[in-house]
Amino acid sequence: MPKGEMLQVENAAVALRNQNGTFKVISPNGYIFQVICRRGRKIRIREIGEPEHSAFSELKGWQIEKIA
């Protein structure tokens, strides 16, 4: 996945499997996570933001953006 590209998926875990890099992931409820992936290792996840109710009311699935 190229840096800066945004994907919308039904299952973020499946989409991030075997990826390398740091990703910004937004849940369908609007929670924002930083996810660090390294092939062959566990995925590291930390919450970096809470939802703003009006901004995420239309999300259908997970949004993933590669940031590094």
- Written as six digits, the tokens of 18 are 């075997």
pTM score of the predicted model: 0.84
14-43 per-position pLDDT tens digit: 999 989 999 999 999 889 999 999 988 889
Q: What does the alpha-carbon distance between residue 4 and residue 53 come to, in Å, rounded to a whole number?
A: 24
Tell me what percent of the residues of the chain surpass a pLDDT of 70.
88
Tell me what percent of the residues of the chain surpass a pLDDT of 90.
60
Q: Where are the domains of the chain?
A: 6-66
Place of tokens 């996570």: 33
Q: For position 19, what pLDDT does the model report? A: 93
The greatest distance separating any two alpha carbons of the chain, rounded to the nearest whole angstrom, comes to: 38
- Which of the 8 DSSP states describes residue 5? -
